[in-house]
């Protein structure tokens, strides 16, 4: 565990393994989340170094102001980390919003990236919302109505809306109920930045109102010319259908479904999640 310092403050990171094959840098979700959600990625450090970190503004990293809550800032923070570690080339893993980050990083620094792993990733907000609406419509009717009405009148902080969120989350965000409850209780402890999440995303996973509301990274996909993996849980809010369609836009990309999992596959089935990534890396010898 360590820190490096930049103009924005200190960034916390964990590095595991010895120098060997191409290192991996993992980018967590949120925005506003922490490395805890992707910590099992460190277990891939058998023949290389693996690094996870708390993006600037959340977790154990320095707090930042809203003027710095931009894609550009987070790409710079990631590049500063890579430079601090002395990495000229690396594989990027991005979970949820982390997938947005690694896609945007590749757009800016394509020569540094030797492989991309999109893990239940946000690539297009329009697609995400459309999929979310389809999943919401499969919930019991009363919850569908609650979500619809609360969002219409701006009552997304109401008790009934949060109850409906829980129903959706337990189906599509984390199906391991014990892990889900621990995740909810642990948010304050790990310093999940709710304000940052609200600013860039919104009041719930399925209601973007922030700066990423109209995000669309699909035009970048056709520019990717390196080994790429798209993986998504069987019941994921980042649906397998969407991940598969995105993979088809990248020449030679692979697509894998993480069976019996939702958005939190590291919590639900760590072994299967790791195996998919490990097989991908080995098959491309990166």
Q: For 97-113, how does the pLDDT look when each residue is reduced to its tens digit (9 = 90+)?
A: 999 999 999 999 999 99
**Range 17-24 average pLDDT:** 97
Per-residue model confidence as pLDDT tens digits over 126-169:
999 999 999 999 999 999 999 999 999 999 999 999 999 999 99
Which of 46-60, 170-184, 236-250, 253-267 bottoms out in mean pLDDT, i.e. has the lowest?
170-184
Q: What is the mean pLDDT of the chain?
A: 96
How far, in Å, CA of 22 to CA of 38, rounded?
19
Catalytic residues: 96, 236, 263
How far, in Å, CA of 39 to CA of 50, rounded?
10
In the sheet with 90-95, reading across from the earlier edge strand, the strands are: 2-6, 9-16, 48-53, 21-27, 90-95, 113-119, 228-233, 254-258
* N-term to C-term CA, the chain: 25
Q: Which residue has the tokens 């009148």?
A: 153
Q: What is the reported pLDDT for 189?
A: 65
CATH class of 1-286: alpha beta
Residue 185 has pLDDT above 80, yes or no: no
171, 132 Cβ separation under 8 angstroms: no
Residue spans per domain, the chain: 1-286
**Alpha-helix runs per DSSP H in the chain:** 71-85, 97-108, 125-136, 141-153, 159-172, 177-186, 194-200, 218-221, 240-247, 265-268, 270-284
Residue 191 has pLDDT above 90, yes or no: no
- Phi and psi at 7, nearest 5°, equal -65, -25
Per-residue confidence band for 188, with pLDDT thresholds at 50, 70 and 90: low
229, 277 Cβ separation under 8 angstroms: yes
How far, in Å, CA of 265 to CA of 99, rounded?
15
Residue 80 has pLDDT above 80, yes or no: yes
**Range 17-27 average pLDDT:** 97
Q: At 171, is the secondary structure helix, strand, or coil?
A: helix
247, 218 Cβ separation under 8 angstroms: no
Residue 109, judged by CB atoms within 10 A of its CB (0-12, 13-18, 19+), counts as middle
Q: What is the reported pLDDT for 179?
A: 77
Between residues 190 and 165, the one the model is more confident about: 165
- The encoded tokens of residue 43 equal 């277990």
Distant-in-sequence, close-in-space partners of 131: CB < 8 Å, separation ≥ 6: 237, 238, 239, 241, 242
**Range 241-265 average pLDDT:** 98
- The encoded tokens of residue 282 equal 């080995």
Q: What whole-number percentage of the chain has pLDDT above 90? A: 94
Spatial CA neighbour of 251 closest among 216, 221, 218: 221
Per-residue confidence band for 180, with pLDDT thresholds at 50, 70 and 90: confident
Distant-in-sequence, close-in-space partners of 53: CB < 8 Å, separation ≥ 6: 11, 12, 13, 14, 25, 26, 35, 61, 81
54, 35 Cβ separation under 8 angstroms: yes
């Amino acid at each position: 565990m360590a820190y490096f310092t930049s103009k924005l403050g200190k960034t916390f990171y964990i590095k595991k393994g010895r120098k060997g094959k191409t290192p991996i840098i993992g980018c967590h979700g949120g925005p506003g989340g922490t490395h805890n959600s992707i910590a099992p990625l460190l277990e891939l450090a058998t023949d290389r170094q693996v690094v996870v970190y708390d993006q600037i503004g959340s977790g154990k990293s320095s707090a930042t102001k809203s003027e710095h809550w931009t894609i550009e800032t987070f790409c710079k923070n990631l590049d500063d980390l890579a430079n601090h570690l002395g990495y000229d080339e690396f594989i990027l893993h991005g979970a949820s919003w982390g997938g947005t980050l690694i896609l945007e990083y590749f757009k800016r620094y394509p020569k540094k990236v030797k492989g991309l792993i999109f893990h239940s990733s946000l690539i297009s907000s329009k697609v995400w919302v459309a999929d979310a609406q389809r999943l919401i419509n499969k919930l019991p009717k009363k919850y569908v109505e609650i979500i619809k009405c609360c969002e219409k009148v701006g009552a997304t902080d109401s008790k009934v809306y949060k109850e409906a969120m829980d129903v959706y989350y337990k189906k599509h965000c984390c199906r391991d109920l014990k892990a889900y409850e621990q995740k909810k209780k642990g948010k304050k402890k790990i310093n999940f930045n709710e304000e940052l999440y609200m600013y860039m995303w919104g009041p719930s996973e399925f209601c973007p109102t922030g700066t990423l509301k109209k995000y669309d990274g699909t035009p970048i996909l056709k520019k990717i010319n390196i080994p790429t993996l798209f993986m998504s849980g069987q019941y994921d809010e980042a649906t397998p259908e969407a991940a598969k369609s995105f993979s088809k836009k990248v020449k030679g990309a692979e697509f894998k479904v993480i069976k019996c999992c939702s958005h939190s596959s590291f919590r639900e089935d760590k072994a299967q999640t790791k195996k998919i990534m490990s097989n991908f890396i080995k098959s491309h010898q990166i």
